[in-house]
Amino acid sequence: MTQTDSFDDLRDLYQEVILDHGRRPRHAQRLEAFDATAKGDNPMCGDRVQVWVKLDADTIDRVGFEARGCAISVASADLMVETVLRRSRADTKALFEAFRTLARTGVCSDCAAALAEPMERLAPLAGVHEYPSRVKCATLPWHALIAALDGTKEASSE
Amino acid sequence: MTQTDSFDDLRDLYQEVILDHGRRPRHAQRLEAFDATAKGDNPMCGDRVQVWVKLDADTIDRVGFEARGCAISVASADLMVETVLRRSRADTKALFEAFRTLARTGVCSDCAAALAEPMERLAPLAGVHEYPSRVKCATLPWHALIAALDGTKEASSE
Amino acid sequence: MNVMTNPAALDVAPLDVGRIRQDFPILTQTIRGKPLVFLDSAASAQKPRVVIDAMVHAMETQYANVHRGLHWMSERTTEAYEAARDAVAELMNANDRSEVVFVRNSTEAINLLAHSYGRGVLKRGQAVVISGMEHHSNIVPWQLLRDAHGIELRVAPITDAGELDMAAFEALLEDGKVGLVAITHMSNVLGSITPAERIVRIAHAHGAKVMFDGSQAIVHRKIDVRALGCDFYVWTGHKLYGPTGIGVLWGKRDLLERMPPFLGGGDMISSVTYEQSTWAAVPHKFEAGTPAILEGIGLKAAVDYVRAVGYDAMAAHEASLTEHALSRLAAVDGLRVLGQAQDRGGVISFTLDKAHAHDVATLLDRQGIAVRAGHHCAEPLMHRFNLDSTARASFGIYTTHAEIDALADGLIRVREFFK
Amino acid sequence: MNVMTNPAALDVAPLDVGRIRQDFPILTQTIRGKPLVFLDSAASAQKPRVVIDAMVHAMETQYANVHRGLHWMSERTTEAYEAARDAVAELMNANDRSEVVFVRNSTEAINLLAHSYGRGVLKRGQAVVISGMEHHSNIVPWQLLRDAHGIELRVAPITDAGELDMAAFEALLEDGKVGLVAITHMSNVLGSITPAERIVRIAHAHGAKVMFDGSQAIVHRKIDVRALGCDFYVWTGHKLYGPTGIGVLWGKRDLLERMPPFLGGGDMISSVTYEQSTWAAVPHKFEAGTPAILEGIGLKAAVDYVRAVGYDAMAAHEASLTEHALSRLAAVDGLRVLGQAQDRGGVISFTLDKAHAHDVATLLDRQGIAVRAGHHCAEPLMHRFNLDSTARASFGIYTTHAEIDALADGLIRVREFFK
Ligand SMILES: Cc1ncc(COP(=O)(O)O)c(C=O)c1O
Ligand SMILES: Cc1ncc(COP(=O)(O)O)c(C=O)c1O
């Protein structure tokens, strides 16, 4: 039971990359200078996240976040930041839709080819589709990010 | 189907005496002179009855009633009058209890011996015990009578 | 009398009643040694095997409380329960699944509306219009609202034929004070179907919202809330071959969003502190506490079943039964049918001279035939026709023409008996 | 820690858990290939065969709407449904069956009370006291009452151990303004059982009525409302091994009689005219519309089942499970149990350092173990302990010591995983 491979059954959902980003998120910080910010709130479980965005014209230049929640929501926020940096608003929204499909269904078969590479980074989160209630943990930071880009102050993943 | 004996299945509940008293009640009248009166009301089905009582000291001298309801409630009211005439209040209440048992259970095995003869007159109503909701039709006039004797104005068989 | 459309004209395969009856285990029962002839479906319908099985399957293989569980059983149960909302939304052609609020029954749905729309949106001095043929469940909640909140209650009269008096109805709306029209879509006593689209047009023209009590109508007609154009529509699961304990309030989303909650508690909140709580989004805002989970699952099976049978086939079958019943009953000496609406469903109330309705019901029961007798929770309607009670026969998809013949024959016997 | 009475001391035959488990078909399920370890009974309990069978039997052999039918099916269904009232009255040692009002769940029961007692009997300026460990269902209805009706809401604090602070509680009552104390009989988060008799004594001495939220307590303790001396007691069927969709409000008859109705509609009236309606006698005054008939029938089977097993045996079994669990969990590194009440039932909330409660629940689920995670509909209580969420394991009569070992072992794995 204490052998590493005995965690196989747990690992399919909590892959190493999730554990790692959940434990040591690289982008968990409030930005000093930012163009937009929004909060996300999952009333069903109490998860909360805030996202700050610095833009460079239409391109996302920096993103920081503060999250209070489970490993999945923190890891998802951190991976999200890495995925959207230097992307346009439109690309980011397309990524969100693709990720939402991935999180809900476990695959994103009809995702645009252009998204294939960035989506790879998010692939470790595909396992949440088995847990409908955890899907919201994974998508919550994205909801907040999109809300910030849209100029809405609050998002809910309800 | 039009032969008389084909009604056997209906007759066990609606014995001839019930049909007869239901159709042509002998005591369905408002008394001009009376000592007590009360109404009875079955809100579940809309049956209504009013009973008037003339007393001779402690003895019931005359009873009249007006009923709006089914054959069973009218017949029961009429048979009730015939049963309680010239009886004391106490006897009447004992009869009511005995009748209530009869109507609910179909028998009154532990009825006081003294009641055997008057109870015979009420025996045709025993069949209602198979119809819990019709039991109330049969006991409604009794509730009104007892309410009148007790000086209460209204009774409900709910 | 024009009883709905002629089945042939509808171009649907006629209902195979024999096959349908095999889906309802209870129909093989005997009553007092006679085969059960169940003509009380308007009070509550029998349950098909698929409904029973769906509930049993949930209890035996996947059950837990819903919405907040992160574990397998809870996830699966939540999916099954929420699938009922999808099924209902589709059944009614709702814009959105969030417009479907689950309640216990029609009665609770109307009370919810009387509370949350009545106290929360209507203003003192406004009026609510009901009709002269409402079930108590669509009268009393508005009386309570009237007495507690100063909302006027107006009653649109009905004609001797048992139809809504449309001129009088419109006149009631003329002063512009009416905020809500709450009217039955089909009378549980007369069988009359009200002209829903016209009611909506008139009400909306006068600035009033419309709620239909579809407790009966949903069993007989395909309900398309978008086509009807109404604002709220309520019905009750147990009459649509589903379990007891679950009913539906459908409402337009923006209206539901404007309404304050009704019951407070778990599941309907967004956050709670002692000072203040905030509410979940619709429909959850109106669903406090552990919902009727198993009943939702059973209701989904009922909705699927009804859709598989098909409303066209059901309506045609019932029209044919009703036509047959009206003609057979017309031949019973001393029998009077209450109401002669042009547009009617499979519910027929009647009186028999010389025999009180309760005696009629009991004597029919003696012959294995179940009909209802009484005021049918519609006392004011009874009074309108100077009656205290009627007997009522009502039909479901499993009702046969032979059962209607049994009813007519049974009534002839009752009549002879009381001659 | 003194967890209830030692089973041996109670002199009852220990529960034969193996036999009990055979009564619950769902327990043979596997989750992700692992045997189901269901430790979420406090959210909703599984259903024994007898409950399933009772509901199926009704749907297959005797079903119709209740109370108004004069025919066989309706008479039999009414008897079966009303027998549930007798069973509940006996279970709780009520004075009278008419003191038992059927509602959907605890949440509706409390809302009914907040409406009918709160608006109908309490006066503006009076206060209601709840405690610091209430479920949202016993918070939000009183907030709605406060905001709509000017009733003050007071919160009796709890201690760090998770017990009601009795001195502070009594102090809240001192000014004599408190009309009602509405307090949980057992916390669904901490497992704490509140000192019901003392609460009643203190409240009554200050002129306040007492309602207990027995949603959890009824599952673990024999409830004798006459011995408790309380005025109202509410619980919910689905936690006592019964179906969803049915719950109980018990109230002293004279109090119920003084309360105005809550929902209006069929079955709760005595007579209806447009001008005015009058109400049926209790309990029917509070039961508007077609009740949860099948659920009442299922609840009766559940009550009979629980009584056959016996509360003494159930309580002893749960005490033994709880003791075992507390000692096994104490050995898990970084695990903290919330609350250390002296008197407690089989519900244990805990946190694990390094792992969020949701991750704990998901990782346990991966091992076939169902626990709940979140705020457990008790946000203010969470905040009291500076938490957003905990994981919670809760036990039923079918829970085994081996399942608790599985939980402890599973948690050790989770802890390792997140190390
Ligand atoms: C203490 C307590 N009160 C109230 C409730 C609400 O019960 P229900 O959701 O059945 O209304 C629960 C359970 O959810 C509970 O544990
Ligand atoms: C027209 C109508 N409205 C309302 C109701 C009330 O339905 P429920 O008792 O299920 O609330 C009924 C049936 O009883 C009905 O026929």
Q: Express each pLDDT in D354-388 by its tens digit.
A: 899 999 999 999 999 999 999 999 999 999 999 99
Backbone phi, psi, residue C233, to 5°? -145, 130
Distance CA C300, CA D248 (A): 26
With a cut of 60, say whether residue D2 has pLDDT above it: no
Distance CA D242, CA D396 (A): 13
D4-34: pLDDT as tens digits: 444 444 456 789 999 999 999 999 999 989 9
Q: Using only the alpha carbons of chain B, give its radius of gyration.
A: 15
Residue from C287, C290, C295 to probe ligand 1 pocket by mutation (most atoms less than 8 Å from CB): C290
With a cut of 70, say whether residue B157 has pLDDT above it: no
Distance CA D303, CA D250 (A): 15
With a cut of 90, say whether residue A49 has pLDDT above it: yes
D295-341: pLDDT as tens digits: 999 999 999 999 999 999 999 999 999 999 999 999 999 999 999 99
B130 with B40: CB under 8 angstroms? no
C357 with C349: CB under 8 angstroms? no
pTM above the 0.80 mark?
yes
Tell me, what DSSP letter sits at residue D40?
A: B
Residue from D102, D269, D290 to probe ligand 2 pocket by mutation (most atoms less than 8 Å from CB): D290
Quick one: tokens of A93? 């929204």
Q: How confident is the model at residue A9 (pLDDT cuts 50, 70, 90)?
A: confident
Average pLDDT estimate for A98-110: 90
Percent of chain A at pLDDT exceeding 90? 68
Distance CA D357, CA D362 (A): 9
Q: What's the pLDDT at D3? A: 41
Q: What's the pLDDT at B108? A: 85
Q: Cis peptide before C283, with omega less than 30 degrees from 0?
A: yes
User: What length is written for chain A?
Assistant: 158
D234 with D260: CB under 8 angstroms? no
Distance CA D374, CA A44 (A): 8
With a cut of 50, say whether residue A35 has pLDDT above it: yes
| Chain pair A-C, CB pairs under 8 angstroms | 25
Q: ∠ at Cα D79 (D73, D84), nearest 5°?
A: 130
CATH numbers and ranges of domains, chain A: 3-156 (3.90.1010.10)
CB atoms within 10 A of CB A127: 20
With a cut of 50, say whether residue D280 has pLDDT above it: yes
Closest CB to C366 among B13, B19, B44: B13
Please state whether beta strands C30-31 and C34-35 pair in parallel, antiparallel, or not at all (unpaired). Answer: antiparallel
Average pLDDT estimate for C156-164: 98
D255 with D231: CB under 8 angstroms? yes
Closest CB to A13 among D356, D362, D375: D362
Residues of C in contact with B1 (CB under 8 A): 409, 412-413
CA distance B134 to chain D (A): 7
Among D58, B135, A147, CA closest to C51: D58
With a cut of 60, say whether residue C100 has pLDDT above it: yes
Question: Taking the C-alpha atoms of C67, C70, C75 and C78 in order, what is their torsion angle to the nearest 10 degrees?
Answer: -10
Average pLDDT estimate for A67-82: 94
Distance CA A33, CA C412 (A): 90
D236 with D300: CB under 8 angstroms? no
Residues of C in contact with B9 (CB under 8 A): 32, 366-367
Residue from C189, C212, C236, C379 to probe ligand 2 pocket by mutation (most atoms less than 8 Å from CB): C236
Residue in the block written with tokens 């989004």: C281
Average pLDDT estimate for C321-332: 97
Question: Taking the C-alpha atoms of D205, D207, D213 and D219 in order, what is their torsion angle to the nearest 10 degrees?
Answer: 40
State whether residue B3 sits within 8 Å of chain C by CB.
Answer: no
Distance CA C2, CA C195 (A): 15
Closest CB to C270 among A43, A131, A133: A43
Indicate the helix (H) or strand (E) that contains C285: none
Residue partners of C188: CB distance under 8 A and separation at least 6: C42, C135, C215, C216, C347, C376, C377, C378
D43-94: pLDDT as tens digits: 999 999 999 999 999 999 999 999 877 899 999 999 999 999 999 999 999 9
Average pLDDT estimate for C212-229: 97
Q: How confident is the model at residue C6 (pLDDT cuts 50, 70, 90)?
A: very low
Rounded mean pLDDT of chain C?
95
A121-157: pLDDT as tens digits: 999 999 999 888 889 899 999 999 999 999 887 776 6
Q: How confident is the model at residue C2 (pLDDT cuts 50, 70, 90)?
A: very low
**Cα C126 from chain centroid (whole Å):** 27
With a cut of 90, say whether residue C74 has pLDDT above it: yes
CATH numbers and ranges of domains, chain C: 7-47+310-417 (3.90.1150.10), 51-307 (3.40.640.10)
Closest CB to C70 among A43, A133, A156: A133
With a cut of 80, say whether residue A46 has pLDDT above it: no
Q: What's the pLDDT at D5? A: 42
Q: Using only the alpha carbons of chain A, give its radius of gyration.
A: 15
Distance CA C154, CA C145 (A): 13
State whether residue C136 sits within 8 Å of chain B by CB.
Answer: no
With a cut of 50, say whether residue D35 has pLDDT above it: yes
Q: How confident is the model at residue A8 (pLDDT cuts 50, 70, 90)?
A: confident
Tell me, what DSSP letter sits at residue B50?
A: E
Q: What's the pLDDT at B158? A: 53
Residue D69 to residue B133, Cβ atoms within 8 A:
yes
| Active-site residue, from C377, C379, C385, C412 | C377
Chains in contact with chain A (at least 3 beta-carbon pairs closer than 8 A): C, D
Q: What's the pLDDT at A111? A: 79
Quick one: tokens of C205? 């023209």
Distance CA C370, CA C364 (A): 7
Q: What's the pLDDT at D210? A: 98
Average pLDDT estimate for C362-376: 95
D122-155: pLDDT as tens digits: 999 999 999 999 999 999 999 999 999 999 999 9
Average pLDDT estimate for B5-29: 88
Q: Using only the alpha carbons of chain D, give its radius of gyration.
A: 22
Q: What's the pLDDT at D7? A: 42
Q: What's the pLDDT at D8? A: 45
**d(CA C265, ligand 1 centre) in Å:** 9
Nearest CA in chain D to A137: D358
Q: Cis peptide before C380, with omega less than 30 degrees from 0?
A: no
Number of H helices, E strands in chain C: 16, 17
Integer angstrom CA distances of residue C245 from B115, B131, C49, C248, C296? 47, 26, 18, 11, 9
**d(CA D219, ligand 1 centre) in Å:** 12
C259-268: pLDDT as tens digits: 999 999 999 9
Among C178, C171, C169, CA closest to C142: C178
Residues of C in contact with B69 (CB under 8 A): 356, 358
**d(CA C110, ligand 1 centre) in Å:** 25
Q: What's the pLDDT at C72? A: 93
Interface test with C, best of B70, B131, B140 (most C CBs within 10 A): B70
- Ligand 1 atom nearest the C-alpha of C289 is 9
Residue B14 to residue C409, Cβ atoms within 8 A:
no
Q: What is the ipTM of this complex?
A: 0.94
C248 with C230: CB under 8 angstroms? no
Q: ∠ at Cα C374 (C373, C376), nearest 5°?
A: 100
Amino acid at position B106, single letter: G
- Ligand 2 atom nearest the C-alpha of D289 is 9
Q: What's the pLDDT at C67? A: 80
C109-157: pLDDT as tens digits: 999 999 999 999 999 999 999 999 999 999 999 999 999 999 999 999 9
Average pLDDT estimate for C283-303: 98
Q: How confident is the model at residue B156 (pLDDT cuts 50, 70, 90)?
A: low
C42 with C239: CB under 8 angstroms? yes
Q: What's the pLDDT at B131? A: 84
Question: By three-state DSSP, how is residue D266 classified?
Answer: coil
Q: What's the pLDDT at A102? A: 94
Average pLDDT estimate for C383-409: 97
